[in-house]
Amino acid sequence: MNDIKEKIEELRKTLKYHSDRYYNDDAPEIEDYQYDMMMRELIKLEEKYPEFDEPDSPTKRVGGKADNSFENVVHTVRMESLQDAFSKDEIREFEKRVLDVVNKPKYCVEPKIDGLSVSLEYENGVFVRGSTRGDGNVGEDVSGNIKVIRNVPLKLNKNIPYIEVRGEVYMPKKSFDKVVDRQLLNDEKPFKNPRNAAAGSLRQKDSKVTATRGLDIFIFNVQRVDGVTLTSHKQSLDFLKELGFNTVPNYTLVDNIDSAIAEIDKIGESRGDLEFDIDGAVIKVDDFEMRKALGSTAKFPKWAVAFKYPPEEKQTKLVDIEIAVGRTGVLTPTAVLEPVHLAGTTVSRATLHNQDFINEKGIAVGDVVTVRKAGDIIPEVLCVNEHNSDKIYEFPKYCPSCNSEVVRENDEAAIRCINPDCPAQLLRNLIHFCSRDAMDIEGLGPAILETFVNCNLIEKTEDIYSLTYDKIDSAQLEGFKEKSINNIIISIEKSKENDLGKLIFALGIRHIGAKAGKLLSDHFRDIDSIINANVDDILAIDGYGDIMAESVVEFFKLQKTVDLIKSLKSNGVNMFSKTEVNDTRFSGMTFVLTGTLPTLKRAEAGKIIESFGGKTSSSVSKKTTYVLAGDEAGSKLDKANSLGIKVIDENEFMEMIK
């Protein structure tokens, strides 16, 4: 029995981890199908061994939890999850359970949109609040971001005293492709699929960012309504249409389960033709009185079931391998395939990651390989089915863009071109330099930067600050009117006042992200001190290791860097830290913030800590001074206790800053 208990505990731990990665971090590490199969195994074990029941088991919880970056919203009507079915037999078992309670039910069948579930509330026909599902009971207030979604009506067609509806925010495939293209150009880690892209976009702290992501919404349920009587699901969807909502498409009312299964098959066949992602189809008992009789479990309504489509895999021939050069010089391989129809679309390219992945799979040009769409979106090569060559593919020894010799440094999977003048890296460097977390130059997006590079307005990074109205205007570029040119010039001028930390990140130093750039800036206070620092000086910064420190020192030794900094200085770009330190009571201290604080947001607490000379970290280690913990602190609190790190709550923290 100990083995069974250990297996159950391990499954719970694994599922909680992956649920957190999926719902709260928008960064899943496994496919939905793998997660679903683990959940299925845990459900069976818990049913067979009830003595190992646990109230907090993933089988009894809905979705994620509220993120304390936003205000919490307590749902008056619980936003439940759905029970999954993976076969037609399981759908028929669902029907048997329904027929044990009610007679002659009708079913409404609709596609299961793969996005982020939200609640929208209206008073007297006017939008008042939008919130995420969270754990089903408590979600996040994301009203500002909901408002910028094009199909969210801010005023309904009828003056309803109060109505709360549930919908799914999603990212259309075309929008997803554009976002990923921008991320790849900027050498950022791309979203894995539209669902995670939608979730990440809806949780942006700046609604202007959300507005650029092309999100959309389908409404599929009435949660509460005053002043109107609704008796069935189809009637409620028809009513929602009248109010002006973009309802879930292709919903169909059927008389029996066989017709419902036929609709599921029909929806499945059309998946590839849709402009949005679905991960299944939902069968719902139509009559609301019957739903009341059927009720719910701790997690699922008993009147609905979600059929999940299995991931599709196909074999095809790998006809070539192409190499692209990224912003940091990393060479990335892409498989060119004989076109194959997969998950509703034609696939002709797939990721191969790096040389280690190719070696592990034994991949060679000419092989027959199995391809799958990860998350139904990004094609990947799973394995080799038939080798047509004994020679595994090897990366070129010279950069395909500039013909410089490429290198592979110790302990790195990446092979890179280290020529700082490599033309393939210029555009990506520029995009990174102008991005929001870097110099934040509005108007200089990827498309415009590419145009400026192609017409020789920009040949190196520092040329950005030599742009003038006359230079851009004289290039006679289509679509560049007086106002748009002036806006670009104003944004460039504004960027000169940025904090030094943003400039450090914008320079694109290997291993130095936005937070590391700020640490460097706040520690040394000006660019010249950073340039003159040695490795030991930089290692004095908590959060810096040998690789990061060496990378900074080597970067500022480069003649190209010297020339760039000199040019930026002459153009008036700020070279000093603007972080204000009230006093140094937290100097040398590192805080880790976790859980939901009663009144402070974690970002607010972090700013307070930094204003007193302290630092914040995302992970607990022996270097941690304090862990500031709120409700649902989780694994970071456990680690702090195991290491003997002092844990404080918000009241103690407020005493410390008096």
* Distance of alpha carbon 354 from alpha carbon 331, whole angstroms: 8
* Percent over 90 (pLDDT), the chain: 47
Strands 313-325 and 331-342 turn out to be antiparallel
The model's pLDDT over 145-169, given as tens digits with 9 standing for 90+, comes to 999 998 999 999 999 999 999 999 9
The conformation of residue 190, written as its DSSP 8-state character, comes to P
pLDDT beyond 80 at 190: no
Contact 589, 648 (CB under 8 A): no
- State the pLDDT at residue 538: 92
pLDDT beyond 70 at 238: yes
pLDDT beyond 80 at 437: yes
- State the pLDDT at residue 15: 81
- What is the band of 24 on the pLDDT scale with cuts at 50, 70, 90? low
Query: What's the mean pLDDT in 416-444?
Result: 87
The average confidence (pLDDT) of the chain is 87
In DSSP notation, 202-246 reads HT-SSHHHHHTTT-EEEEEEEEEEES----BHHHHHHHHHHHT--
The conformation of residue 421, written as its DSSP 8-state character, comes to T
* The one catalytic residue among 112, 192, 234, 636: 112
Residue 224 token pair: 């509460």
Residue 614 token pair: 């302290």
* Distance of alpha carbon 498 from alpha carbon 596, whole angstroms: 31
pLDDT beyond 80 at 616: yes
- State the pLDDT at residue 285: 97
Query: What's the mean pLDDT in 629-648?
Result: 85
The alpha helices in 301-405, defined as continuous H runs, are 355-361
- State the pLDDT at residue 104: 94
Q: Which residues contact 127 (CB under 8 A, 6 or more apart)?
A: 120, 121, 143, 146, 147, 152, 153, 154, 155
Q: How does 74-109 read in b/e, with b if 16+ C-beta sit within 10 Å? A: ebeeebbbbbbbbeeeebeebbeebeeebeebbbbb
Coil, helix or strand at residue 506: helix
- State the pLDDT at residue 366: 93
Query: What backbone torsions phi and psi does residue 83 show, to the nearest 5 degrees?
Result: -75, 135
* Distance of alpha carbon 504 from alpha carbon 514, whole angstroms: 8
Sign of CA dihedral 178, 181, 183, 189: positive
Range with top average pLDDT, 310-324, 441-455, 484-498: 484-498
The model's pLDDT over 550-584, given as tens digits with 9 standing for 90+, comes to 999 999 998 889 999 999 999 999 999 987 766 77
The model's pLDDT over 80-100, given as tens digits with 9 standing for 90+, comes to 999 999 899 999 999 999 999
- State the pLDDT at residue 560: 86
Query: What's the mean pLDDT in 222-249?
Result: 96
The model's pLDDT over 448-462, given as tens digits with 9 standing for 90+, comes to 998 898 888 999 999
Query: What backbone torsions phi and psi does residue 379 show, to the nearest 5 degrees?
Result: -70, 140
User: Which of these ranges, 260-264, 378-382, 445-449, 548-552, has the smallest mean pLDDT?
Assistant: 378-382
* Distance of alpha carbon 344 from alpha carbon 274, whole angstroms: 9
More confident residue, 497 or 26: 497
The partner residues of 116 in beta bridges, in order of sequence, read 169
User: Which of these ranges, 59-73, 397-411, 519-533, 644-658, has the smallest mean pLDDT?
Assistant: 59-73
141, 499, 526, 530, 557 from 551: Cα distances, Å: 41, 21, 18, 12, 10
- What is the band of 277 on the pLDDT scale with cuts at 50, 70, 90? confident
The partner residues of 247 in beta bridges, in order of sequence, read 219
- What is the band of 67 on the pLDDT scale with cuts at 50, 70, 90? very low
In DSSP notation, 616-651 reads EESS--TT--EEEE-BT-THHHHHHHHHT-EEE-HH
Strands 107-113 and 368-374 turn out to be unpaired
More confident residue, 340 or 35: 340
- What is the band of 603 on the pLDDT scale with cuts at 50, 70, 90? confident
Query: What's the mean pLDDT in 16-27?
Result: 64
Tell me whether residue 112 is one of the annotated catalytic residues: yes
For the purposes of burial, counting CB atoms within 10 Å of the CB of 230, is it exposed (0-12), middle (13-18) or buried (19 or more)?
middle
Report the 10 Å Cβ neighbour count for 594: 22
